[in-house]
Structure 1
Amino acid sequence: MRRTGKILLRIGLVLTTWSVVAAQVPGDRSGRAPIPLTLKQAVDMALAPDGNVRLRLAADAVQIAESRASQARSGLLPNFDATLVQQNLTRNLAAFGIGFSVPLLGSMFPDVVGPFNVFDARTTGSQTVFDLSAIRRFSAARSGVDTAESEEKSAQDVVAGEVTRHYLTAWQARSRVETVRASVELATALLDLAEDQKRAGTGTGIEVTRARVQLANERQRLLVAQNQYRAAELRLLKAIGLKLTDRVEITELFTHEPVNIDLNQAVAKALETRADLKAQRQREQTARLSHSAVKWERLPSLVAFGDYGTIGSAIDSAVPTRTYGVMMRLPIFDGGRRDARRAEARIQMDQERTKTADLEAQIEMEVRIAFDNLQSADEQIRVSVEGVELAQGELAQARRRYQAGVTTSLEVTDAQTRLERAQDNQIAAMFNFQVAKTDLALAMGSAREAVR
């Protein structure tokens, strides 16, 4: 009876501490201590310059856009070249229609002259005075830079949302490991009790067998839960840019904090702050400027040019010469190429306008779905808390009845199963609530601020 009392005490302790979050996590096979990691730390690591791959690619896209803007700006800036030429040449004057005789000497002017030397050191330059099409092309390129910067901010929001989801998935998997581990401990204690009662003559062999089956099932669930936790951990490591051989310890304690926000305010904020919508509006502006650039190619352009240098048969005999002037270029006919490009640019502009309207509708839909999910998850938490409390009470009553000998272990096993289901529901409800908060913040364009 003393042994039975100790076993019952173990069962009572397991039931008392069932709902408390355990400090241990699945075993670390690498031999290295896990890295304590909060949600904010995970997001900050992913947003670091050497963090998530998506952000590095977005930063590269900004640099590419800036390079294209510099190329477009070069058409509006002065261009200078320097040349230094030393050559020896001959010329066939007859090929240029130059040929005549010298009457007094009675001879013909030679058709071929040379060889002779020419030395020329010269600087040439040009400056666009007016080219509205080039100005529009530069404006479109600058708009492309703004687009890339907005896309980079959008990528940061997306990465913050992805990391938060992976972190929550790892937290959910770890919580299930802890819950199943507690179930294993309870099943072990019930098996000890069944064996003790059989030895005392108050139990049967079927009770022992039933307890062993329950323990085997719980151990199986523990192995599955541990494997799911490791898979979630690997996805989290990949998302934040750490080595897959590292281990992390989920230290964030999530609580139920209701979110008070009006749906219409959430939609308005999303349409105002979403970085991807800003990027799309910039793409629409870029397409509009590109269409304008093609349209204004029909206008004349004005270019100033000039050169200055020394030329002669040798360096010591070279003399300064120069040229300067203004050239106006007026497009007349190019075979219809310009009209075709203008039609193409107009279609692209209409496409971007359609994409903008579609994205605005998509954003409003995402906000509404996230808002509904948040309300549903909030109610799920309230129901799951009540379910766990009821299941814990049922298991405690079943344990007392089994201890008193008025029922079999089957009632305890059924109560234990219902408690496990209730605890899984509570974990899932908290996970759904936190995911819904993340989705709403992401839909509103404030995923990074929500984490911080």
Structure 2
Amino acid sequence: MTFFAPDFCLLPSAFCLPVLLSAFSLQVAAQPLRLSVADAVQRALREGSQAQLARSTEERARIARTEALQALFPQADARVSRYSQSINLQTFGFTIPGQPPVVGPFNVTDAQVAAAVQLFNLAAIRHYQALSQGETASRYALQRAENDVATAVARLYVLAQRASTQIASRQADVALFERLLKVAQDEFTAGTGTRLDVAQATVQLDRAKQAVLIAQNDQRTALLALLNAIGADESSDVVLVDPLPAAPPVLPVDSALRAAQQQRPELKEVVAREKEASLGVSAARARRMPSVAFDFEGDYSGNHTNDLLWTRRVAATLGMPLFHADINAAVARARADLHDREIERTQRERDVEQDVRRAVLSLENANARVAVATENARVAEEALTVAQDRRAAGYGTPVEVDRAQDSYLPLRGDHLLTAGGEGDPSPRDAGRGCREAAGEGRP
């Protein structure tokens, strides 16, 4: 891009530089945003709010798992203090004749170090394992959210492409009906046509212009939704560089079901959630089991820094809960959660099967409708051409042309809608495919 400095930039550089930068930024801002499907998906996964929230959820699950693991590690503390105190000996059962019961005040220097480690705590181990499964489930939930984002962005991209195709087709219809209107006007001027022919041709032209306006509005709406989904400036001009994709082949239902059962992240997520709930039940029950811990405390203390003495306490502790009413409640709550997860897994499997079967049926129906609509549009276009030729040769009547026009417009519209991706054959798998094409696939 060639940039020409304005004449007033012959002023001193202190005034010229801001003007040049402002003019250059305006020209850069005027450049349209060129988007492919992969670019749109990448931007949505990187900057879209839904994907960012899903990543935050995964990060919180990872933090919870790390926190549970750190609870199993040794814990150590150190403290140094110097204080002045007095002691009431009578509280310890001592009475010194002739001396007041309160001794002091006197200074104390104290340096302490303490360490503790759980040698065996089955409840904490099961809790950590449950949170590990929760982290795995959140990772699959992130993949599902990314698939949803990719699906939505790809669909918006196709809708914008379809609107652009509709605009071009509707503009071609406008050009066609402008020619037909001119023919009707010429025939009316020559005395071989009627005013009704001119009026009907004008109505057809106005309908075609109205269809152009509707297609333009659909395109702007789709582009605004696309810019919002990818987190871009909604005032930007967008150029879609990828053409409309061809219809994908229809997989057999059994093959599609097997692929979905192996690859759909929502199924993997519910399995991980069920394992998490099962480990949660084990963790709640393990609170009744004994635990073994090791504690160490060391102390340097004295009245002055030069007379500090070392004392210590080393202990191995075996703990056994005898009665805790909250343990039974925790076990019951964990069992209820496990039951809910089992129901959720069964229902999710049924939902996925329904989704796949419906997607295969929709894709088959969409392909059939595209074929029928294409043939109907071709026949209607041929009929309109024949009617125009007959009328131009003096054999046909304006009624034939009007009927051909009335048949052509709706059939042409049906062809654009069906060929432009009206169906949504496989939203989840389409989203996964878009992510893989964009280079955002996860293991």
Question: Take 1:149 and 1:330, find their aligned partners in 2: how far apart are those partners?
Answer: 37
Q: List runs of 5+ in structure 1 lacking aligned partners.
A: 1-30, 102-106
Q: Cα deviations across residues 285-320 of structure 1 (Å, max 9, x unaligned)?
A: 111111111100011111111122310012122122
Following superposition of structure 1 onto structure 2, how do residues 120-199 of structure 1 map, counting pairs within 5 Å?
A: 120-199=110-189
8 Å CA contact retained: 1:304, 1:325: yes
State whether structure 2 residue 239 is matched by structure 1 residue 239: no
C-alpha displacement of 1:251: 3.3
The aligned counterpart of 1:87 is 83
C-alpha displacement of 1:165: 1.2
Question: Take 1:441 and 1:86, find their aligned partners in 2: how far apart are those partners?
Answer: 68
The aligned counterpart of 1:372 is 361
Following superposition of structure 1 onto structure 2, how do residues 432-447 of structure 1 map, counting pairs within 5 Å?
A: 432=421, 435-436=424-425, 438-439=426-427, 441-442=429-430, 446=433
Q: Secondary structure at the match of 1:322?
A: strand
The aligned counterpart of 2:351 is 362
State whether structure 2 residue 271 is matched by structure 1 residue 271: no
The aligned counterpart of 2:331 is 342
Q: Secondary structure at the match of 1:298?
A: coil
State whether structure 2 residue 57 is matched by structure 1 residue 65: no
The aligned counterpart of 1:115 is 105
**TM-score, normalization by structure 2:** 0.87
C-alpha displacement of 1:258: 5.1
The aligned counterpart of 1:13 is none
Deviating more after overlay: 349-358 vs 409-418: 409-418
8 Å CA contact retained: 1:378, 1:433: no
The aligned counterpart of 1:36 is 34
Q: Secondary structure at the match of 1:125?
A: strand
8 Å CA contact retained: 1:180, 1:222: yes
Amino acid at match of 1:129: L
Q: 1:427 to 1:449 in 2, by over 3 A?
A: farther
Amino acid at match of 2:140: S
8 Å CA contact retained: 1:371, 1:440: no
Q: Which of 325, 332, 341 in structure 2 is aligned with 1:352? A: 341
C-alpha displacement of 1:96: 2.9
State whether structure 2 residue 312 is matched by structure 1 residue 322: yes
The aligned counterpart of 2:390 is 401
Q: Secondary structure at the match of 1:363?
A: helix
8 Å CA contact retained: 2:34, 2:240: yes
Q: Secondary structure at the match of 1:435?
A: coil
The aligned counterpart of 2:373 is 384
Amino acid at match of 2:41: V
Question: Take 2:200 and 2:419, find their aligned partners in 1: how far apart are those partners?
Answer: 33
Question: Take 1:450 and 1:359, find their aligned partners in 2: how far apart are those partners?
Answer: 27
Deviating more after overlay: 227-236 vs 318-327: 318-327
C-alpha displacement of 1:343: 0.3
Q: Cα deviations across residues 18-65 of structure 1 (Å, max 9, x unaligned)?
A: xxxxxxxxxxxxx94543333233223323x2x321111111112111
Q: Secondary structure at the match of 2:321?
A: coil
**TM-score, normalization by structure 1:** 0.86
State whether structure 2 residue 93 is matched by structure 1 residue 97: yes
Q: Secondary structure at the match of 1:90?
A: strand
The aligned counterpart of 2:48 is 52
Amino acid at match of 1:348: D
Following superposition of structure 1 onto structure 2, how do residues 224-235 of structure 1 map, counting pairs within 5 Å?
A: 224-235=214-225
Q: 1:205 to 1:301 in 2, by over 3 A?
A: same
Q: 1:260 to 1:180 in 2, by over 3 A?
A: closer
Question: Take 1:394 and 1:425, find their aligned partners in 2: how far apart are those partners?
Answer: 17
Q: Which of 408, 415, 429 in structure 1 is aligned with 2:418? A: 429
8 Å CA contact retained: 2:37, 2:242: yes
C-alpha displacement of 1:450: 6.9
The aligned counterpart of 1:415 is 404
Q: Cα deviations across residues 313-369 of structure 1 (Å, max 9, x unaligned)?
A: 1212212222211112111112x1110111001100110111011101110110000
C-alpha displacement of 1:409: 3.5
8 Å CA contact retained: 1:134, 1:293: yes
Question: Take 2:254 and 2:170, find their aligned partners in 1: how far apart are those partners?
Answer: 42
Q: Secondary structure at the match of 2:412?
A: helix
Q: Secondary structure at the match of 2:420?
A: helix
Q: Secondary structure at the match of 1:115?
A: strand
Q: List runs of 5+ in structure 2 lacking aligned partners.
A: 1-28
Q: 1:201 to 1:95 in 2, by over 3 A?
A: same
Amino acid at match of 2:329: A
Question: Take 1:224 and 1:372, find their aligned partners in 2: how far apart are those partners?
Answer: 30
Q: 1:410 to 1:450 in 2, by over 3 A?
A: farther
Structure 1 ranges of 4+ moved more than 6 A: none
C-alpha displacement of 1:408: 4.1
C-alpha displacement of 1:206: 2.2
Deviating more after overlay: 209-218 vs 367-376: 209-218
8 Å CA contact retained: 2:42, 2:438: no
8 Å CA contact retained: 2:162, 2:421: no
C-alpha displacement of 1:100: 5.0
Deviating more after overlay: 261-270 vs 209-218: 209-218
Question: Take 1:210 and 1:345, find their aligned partners in 2: how far apart are those partners?
Answer: 74
Question: Take 1:173 and 1:345, find their aligned partners in 2: how far apart are those partners?
Answer: 52
Q: Secondary structure at the match of 2:78?
A: strand
Q: Secondary structure at the match of 1:339?
A: helix
Overall identity of the aligned pairs, in %: 29
8 Å CA contact retained: 2:296, 2:312: yes
Question: Take 1:423 and 1:146, find their aligned partners in 2: how far apart are those partners?
Answer: 50
The aligned counterpart of 1:27 is none
